Chain A
């Protein structure tokens, strides 16, 4: 069974440009989470989808970030326009269990560098 896949694995863009990150969760996992790790800091929650609905987006830094999960399958996270402080590793995770009492399965992350 395929795990959580993320694309691209690494993206280098200039300040002001746009980047779209994609996450394909494990098939059948309704819960999809986006997290971000900035160097030296903890992995911080961005948002949570249940199927195609945003359950909680309290961690989204600002309106330059837009996440979608059309059809309840894969998800995209767009940053527009990118700023220097957006650099970090963006992790996607999925889980099968509602309300999260089970395991989170992570993708390998998308490393974003904004110059």
Chain B
């Protein structure tokens, strides 16, 4: 089993849609969770941290379910500029940031 697994995508949605991504992780001892965004041929950049109680940043909401070992990212009112690959990052063994494969989002007019 991979350490971090994500929905394969791509997700192809119209502007204004709500879309959700899930990510599962295998290390039950993980304490740190993040969503990163990567634009085509660019470097990953932090989108948001994921806190135990769930957290929101504008149109983006992140949730953590420790019992089931998954995290989610919800994007409301999708914009064309949201098109990117969304990477789930989880603290792995030895505190190493471990990446999922990423989920591609395409928002069309």
Q: Do A and B bind each other?
A: yes
Q: Hey, which bits of chain A sit against chain B, CB under 8 A?
A: 33, 35, 41-45, 48, 55-56, 58-59, 91, 93, 99-101, 103-104, 106-109
Asked if B72 is at the interface of the complex by the 8 Å CB criterion, the answer is no
Q: Jot down 5 A-B pairs with beta carbons below 8 A, ordered by A.
A: A43-B87, A45-B99, A93-B97, A100-B96, A101-B32
Contacts of A59 in B (CB 8 A): 96
Nearest 4 pairs of A and B residues by beta carbon: A106-B43, A42-B101, A43-B99, A103-B46
Known: A42-B102, A104-B36, A104-B89. 18 other contacts (CB 8 A): A33-B96, A33-B97, A41-B101, A42-B2, A42-B100, A45-B92, A45-B96, A48-B96, A56-B96, A91-B44, A100-B96, A101-B31, A103-B46, A104-B97, A106-B43, A106-B45, A108-B43, A109-B43
Shortest C-beta distance, B52 to chain A (Å), equals 13
Contacts of A93 in B (CB 8 A): 97
Shortest C-beta distance, B43 to chain A (Å), equals 4
B residues 36-60 near A (Cβ < 8 Å) are 36, 42-46
Contacts of B102 in A (CB 8 A): 42
Shortest C-beta distance, A90 to chain B (Å), equals 11
Q: Hey, which bits of chain B sit against chain A, CB under 8 A?
A: 2, 4, 31-32, 34, 36, 42-46, 87, 89, 91-92, 94-102
A107 touches B96 (CB 8 A): no
Instruction: A104 to B31: give the CA distance in the assembly, Å.
Output: 16
Shortest C-beta distance, B19 to chain A (Å), equals 21
Of B4, B34, B95, B101, the contact of A99 (CB 8 Å cutoff): B95
Closest to A92 in B: B43
Which of B4, B34, B96 is most buried by chain A, counting CB atoms within 10 A of its CB? B96
Closest to A48 in B: B96
Contacts of A109 in B (CB 8 A): 43
Closest to A6 in B: B43
Which of A33, A45, A108 is most buried by chain B, counting CB atoms within 10 A of its CB? A45
